[in-house]
């Protein structure tokens, strides 16, 4: 059963994340009935799986949670901010209970007692029943009296295709009642007349079960919870108080006769569609085959596949390099045949690499979904009103980037709510709405992903930041930093402008963690702030941490890689196009636009690299801020896809270098960080 347990807990993680996302929507005015239905389905699925594995504590709590949601499904007028908070806390407890079950840890009753009691109180107040603990999944209700049930069970034809086994349902039912009273009738009307028409994957039989038990009708229904969406079910009892309204439905039997069955209200409330009738089973099956299906794969397996593809890219580059050395020794036909084959191999390798990368791609909504609740809780603690607008949640990015993006994004949101957004009174006095707004967005741009966090708060108080930096010894009294340099001080380790330490901020361990985390991902962070109007943080991140398309250039005896997404054009400038400003900065006049030139020999102290722009090649690059710079190199070698190797993990960070790679000749080449070079250009003159 261990493999099934693993799948169950993986599904629980997805279900509870989805439930929290929909719960966060309930606190806004944009929620609809489907949000409540989605939460109910998530909790119901967790409960069903937990019952299968005998996690009684988990089942008991989810039963109460599910009952609360069922009430809200029928009447949303009960919803209010306090109840949404309660449901969120219930979901938190559910997360812990699932984790404890996965790790075989007992969950103490007192850990959930308060939330459990509040849920029971709500159920009691809305149904008029006392708030007594709910019955265990495995037990029966005390003093409920003996009841006789007649159950008509008509499964859909494809019931068993989804792994459902009717025998297990009957075995569970038999445990509930008096063994002597249990009687099961099998109906064979739907069996095809000819064996040639028989489909072994179809469930043609239907059943009528008679049983006497003290269990409630809800407990009886639980035996069918795994198949409730794949069957027609009628449960009748001699006790009129539990008799439910019933609706009739005609289903065509296998022999063409019309068999009348009764559909209980626990089946889906949506009107029957044409595809749900047996006459359309074949058409439905064909439609199902056209739908997109998915499988679960361990992340380690994908990582190994990604690494293997990376090594293939390196070996393919080596083969191309080796082919060039054979050009003068092989016959023309042999050389042409070999190069054609290598070109095809290159294309296939690229297609394989892109396919593998797409396997790891996931939408950023996995991270974004946590932020509305975080903002809501922080705003409550700080007595502020904060709204959040999100866009681009379906923008896809590598799973590794997503996993490491959560912490820095959380820090930035906390910082925006605590330091950025003013109190309602301050905002009104400043002529703003009483509520603040935080915009969180994601988009693809130039082969990278750009995430923006924008608030309409007070912005960065540069005078306060400057005085704090002087007080902490980061700057001296004589320092005269620019506004942008002052803004960058908030990323200094240990720096904070908070007047006191709270459980939200004040320890100075927030924004420096953000910068280090983003840089570790090969990304960059920038700030745009206007005091009194708000602040904007821009995160520029790579789509993947594995490979990139690059141009290999040579400066002196060294080869460097420039990311292709930064390159606008290349040229050999004339003497008329280049002029030197005071301070020794060379400027390229390109179509009436002045572009500062950067020499690699200045940055990396290359003794034999060109020092004259007109004797080399200028590669015009675009930085993250939209500015252009010209990089002077000796020559352009080639353009190819390279595999990224982290310098921080294998060596040490180097200014101006983002990563390293292995070229086709087996040598290590450094990948240039264009945005860092732009910031460094004034430091070596």
pLDDT digits (tens, 9 = 90+) for 66-83: 888 888 888 888 888 888
CB 183 within 8 A of CB 278: no
> Which three-class secondary structure state does DSSP give residue 621?
strand
Q: How confident is the model at residue 178 (pLDDT cuts 50, 70, 90)?
A: low
Give the residue, 378 or 502, on which the prediction is more confident.
378
- Mean pLDDT value across residues 626-651: 81
Strands 635-643 and 586-590: what pairing? unpaired
> Which three-class secondary structure state does DSSP give residue 143?
coil
Helix (H) or strand (E) holding 363, with range, is strand 361-363
With 0-12 / 13-18 / 19 or more C-beta atoms within 10 angstroms meaning exposed / middle / buried, residue 136 is middle
Strands 628-633 and 593-599: what pairing? parallel
Average predicted confidence (pLDDT) for the chain: 77
Cα dihedral 466, 472, 473, 476, rounded to 10, equals 20
* pLDDT above 90: percentage of residues in the chain: 8
- Mean pLDDT value across residues 566-594: 86
With 0-12 / 13-18 / 19 or more C-beta atoms within 10 angstroms meaning exposed / middle / buried, residue 390 is middle
Q: What's the token pair of residue 315?
A: 């070996």
Q: How confident is the model at residue 295 (pLDDT cuts 50, 70, 90)?
A: low
Q: How confident is the model at residue 649 (pLDDT cuts 50, 70, 90)?
A: low
Residue position matching structure tokens 């910082």: 415
Q: Is a pLDDT exceeding 50 seen at residue 290?
A: no
Q: What's the token pair of residue 682?
A: 């004034």
Give the residue, 136 or 227, on which the prediction is more confident.
227
Strands 246-252 and 258-264: what pairing? antiparallel
Q: How many alpha carbons fall within 13 Å on the CB side of residue 88?
A: 20
Q: What is the pLDDT of residues 251-287, one digit of tens each?
A: 333 333 333 333 332 333 333 333 333 334 433 434 3
What confidence score (pLDDT) does residue 442 get?
A: 92
Residue 651 to residue 660: CA distance in whole angstroms: 10
How far is CA 566 from each of CA 158, 493, 586, 681, rounded to the nearest angstrom? 54, 30, 21, 17
- Mean pLDDT value across residues 422-428: 92
Q: Is a pLDDT exceeding 70 seen at residue 157?
A: yes
Q: From 108, 119, 90, 202, select the one nearest 155 (Cα to Cα).
A: 202
Q: What's the token pair of residue 224?
A: 């069918």
Give the residue, 682 or 491, on which the prediction is more confident.
491
> Which three-class secondary structure state does DSSP give residue 191?
coil
What confidence score (pLDDT) does residue 432 get?
A: 92
What residues have CB less than 8 Å from 386, skipping those under 6 apart? Answer: 375, 376, 378, 379, 417, 421, 435, 436, 437, 438
Q: Is a pLDDT exceeding 90 seen at residue 428?
A: yes
**Residue 638: beta bridge partners?**
552
Give the residue, 277 or 228, on which the prediction is more confident.
228
What confidence score (pLDDT) does residue 163 get?
A: 67
Give the residue, 248 or 156, on which the prediction is more confident.
156
Q: Is a pLDDT exceeding 90 seen at residue 439?
A: yes
Q: Is a pLDDT exceeding 90 seen at residue 453?
A: yes
Write b or e for each residue in 193-223: b if 16 or more Cβ atoms lie within 10 A of its Cβ, otherwise e: eeeeeeeeebbbebbebebbbbbbbebbbbb
Degrees, nearest 5: CA angle 293-296-297: 125
What confidence score (pLDDT) does residue 624 get?
A: 65
Positive/negative CA dihedral, 108, 110, 116, 117 = positive
**Residue 487: beta bridge partners?**
none
Q: How confident is the model at residue 342 (pLDDT cuts 50, 70, 90)?
A: confident
Residue 496 to residue 489: CA distance in whole angstroms: 9
Q: How confident is the model at residue 294 (pLDDT cuts 50, 70, 90)?
A: low
Residue 569 to residue 593: CA distance in whole angstroms: 14
How far is CA 336 from each of CA 117, 191, 341, rounded to the nearest angstrom? 79, 66, 9
Helix (H) or strand (E) holding 302, with range, is helix 299-325
Give the residue, 345 or 617, on which the prediction is more confident.
617
Q: Is a pLDDT exceeding 50 seen at residue 116?
A: yes
Residue 46 to residue 42: CA distance in whole angstroms: 6
Q: What is the pLDDT of residues 656-668, one digit of tens each?
A: 888 888 887 778 8
Residue 105 backbone dihedrals phi, psi, to 5 degrees: -110, 135
Q: What is the pLDDT of residues 608-631, one digit of tens each?
A: 888 888 888 999 988 766 678 899
Q: What's the token pair of residue 136?
A: 């265990």
Positive/negative CA dihedral, 177, 183, 188, 190 = negative
Residue 500 to residue 465: CA distance in whole angstroms: 15
Q: What is the pLDDT of residues 511-555, one digit of tens each?
A: 777 888 887 777 778 888 888 899 999 888 877 666 777 899 998
Residue 621 to residue 553: CA distance in whole angstroms: 13
What is the CA 442 to chain-centroid distance, rounded?
Answer: 12
Give the residue, 548 or 120, on which the prediction is more confident.
120
Q: Is a pLDDT exceeding 80 seen at residue 685?
A: no
Residue 620 to residue 587: CA distance in whole angstroms: 12
User: What's the pTM?
Assistant: 0.57
Q: How confident is the model at residue 145 (pLDDT cuts 50, 70, 90)?
A: low
Q: How confident is the model at residue 440 (pLDDT cuts 50, 70, 90)?
A: very high
What confidence score (pLDDT) does residue 339 get?
A: 76
> Which three-class secondary structure state does DSSP give residue 465?
helix
Q: Is a pLDDT exceeding 50 seen at residue 148?
A: yes
Residue 196 to residue 211: CA distance in whole angstroms: 37
Of 123-127, 236-240, 441-445, where does mean pLDDT reach its minimum? 236-240
Q: How many helices (H) and strands (E) does the chain have?
A: 20, 24
What confidence score (pLDDT) does residue 269 get?
A: 34
* pLDDT above 70: percentage of residues in the chain: 82
Q: Is a pLDDT exceeding 90 seen at residue 469?
A: no
Q: What is the pLDDT of residues 555-579, one digit of tens each?
A: 888 899 998 878 889 999 988 888 8
What confidence score (pLDDT) does residue 454 get?
A: 94
What confidence score (pLDDT) does residue 438 get?
A: 93
């Amino acid at each position: 059963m261990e493999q099934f347990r693993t799948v169950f807990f993986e599904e629980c993680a997805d279900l509870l994340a989805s439930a929290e996302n929909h719960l966060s929507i309930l606190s806004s005015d944009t929620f609809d009935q489907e949000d409540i239905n989605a939460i109910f389905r998530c909790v119901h699925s967790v409960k069903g799986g937990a019952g299968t594995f005998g996690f009684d504590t988990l089942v008991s709590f989810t039963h109460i949670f599910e009952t609360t949601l069922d009430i809200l499904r029928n009447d949303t007028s009960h919803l209010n901010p306090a109840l949404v908070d309660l449901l969120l806390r219930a979901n938190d407890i559910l997360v812990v209970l699932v984790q404890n079950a996965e790790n075989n840890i007992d969950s103490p009753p007192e850990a959930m007692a308060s939330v459990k009691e509040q849920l029971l109180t709500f159920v009691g107040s809305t149904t008029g029943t006392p708030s007594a603990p709910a019955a265990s999944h495995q037990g029966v209700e005390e003093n409920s009296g003996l009841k006789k049930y007649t159950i008509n069970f008509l499964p859909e034809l494809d019931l068993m295709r989804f792994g459902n086994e009717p025998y297990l349902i009957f075995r569970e039912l038999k445990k509930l009642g008096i063994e002597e009273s249990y009687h099961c009738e099998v109906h064979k009307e739907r069996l095809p007349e000819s064996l040639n028409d028989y489909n072994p994957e179809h469930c043609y039989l239907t059943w009528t079960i008679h049983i006497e038990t003290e269990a409630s009708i809800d407990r009886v229904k639980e035996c069918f919870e795994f198949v409730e969406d794949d069957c027609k079910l009628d449960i009748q009892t001699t006790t009129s108080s539990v008799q439910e309204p019933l609706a009739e439905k005609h289903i065509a039997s296998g022999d063409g006769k019309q068999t009348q069955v009764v559909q209980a209200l626990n089946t889906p409330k949506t009107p029957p569609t044409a595809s749900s009738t047996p006459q359309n089973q074949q058409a439905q099956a064909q439609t199902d085959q056209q739908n997109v299906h998915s499988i679960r794969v361990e992340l380690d397996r994908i990582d190994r596949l990604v690494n293997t593809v990376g090594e293939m890219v390196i070996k393919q580059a080596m083969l191309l390099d080796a082919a060039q050395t054979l050009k003068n020794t092989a016959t023309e036909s042999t050389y042409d045949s070999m190069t054609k084959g290598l070109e095809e191999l290159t294309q296939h390798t690229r297609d394989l690499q892109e396919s593998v990368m797409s396997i790891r791609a996931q939408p950023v909504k996995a991270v974004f979904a946590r932020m509305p609740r975080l903002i809501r809780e922080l705003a409550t603690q700080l007595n502020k009103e904060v709204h959040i607008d999100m866009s681009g949640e379906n923008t896809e990015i590598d799973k590794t980037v997503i996993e490491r993006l959560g912490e820095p994004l959380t820090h930035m949101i906390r910082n925006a709510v605590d330091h950025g957004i003013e109190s309602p009174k301050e905002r009104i006095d400043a002529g703003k709405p009483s509520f603040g707004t935080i915009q969180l967005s994601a988009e693809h741009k130039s082969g990278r992903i750009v995430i923006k966090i924008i608030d309409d708060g007070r912005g960065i108080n540069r005078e306060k930041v400057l005085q704090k930096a002087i007080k902490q010894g980061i700057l001296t009294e004589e320092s005269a930093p620019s506004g942008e340099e002052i803004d960058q001080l908030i990323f200094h380790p240990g720096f904070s402008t908070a007047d006191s330490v709270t459980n939200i901020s004040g320890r100075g361990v927030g924004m420096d963690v953000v910068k280090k985390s983003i840089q570790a991902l090969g990304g960059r962070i920038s700030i745009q702030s206007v005091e009194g109007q708000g602040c904007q943080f821009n995160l520029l991140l790579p789509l993947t941490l594995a490979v990139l398309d690059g141009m290999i250039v040579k400066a002196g005896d060294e080869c460097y890689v420039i990311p292709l997404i930064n390159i606008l054009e290349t040229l050999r400038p004339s003497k008329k196009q280049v002029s030197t400003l005071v301070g020794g900065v060379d400027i390229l006049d390109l179509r009436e636009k002045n572009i500062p030139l950067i020499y690699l020999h200045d940055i990396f102290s290359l003794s034999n690299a060109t020092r004259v722009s007109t004797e080399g090649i200028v590669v015009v690059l675009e930085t993250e801020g939209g500015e252009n710079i010209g990089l002077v190199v000796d020559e352009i070698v080639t353009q190819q896809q390279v595999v990224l190797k982290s310098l921080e993990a294998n060596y040490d960070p180097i200014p101006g270098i983002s990563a390293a790679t292995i070229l086709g000749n087996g040598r290590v080449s450094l990948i240039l960080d264009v945005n860092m070079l732009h910031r460094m250009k004034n430091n070596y003159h």
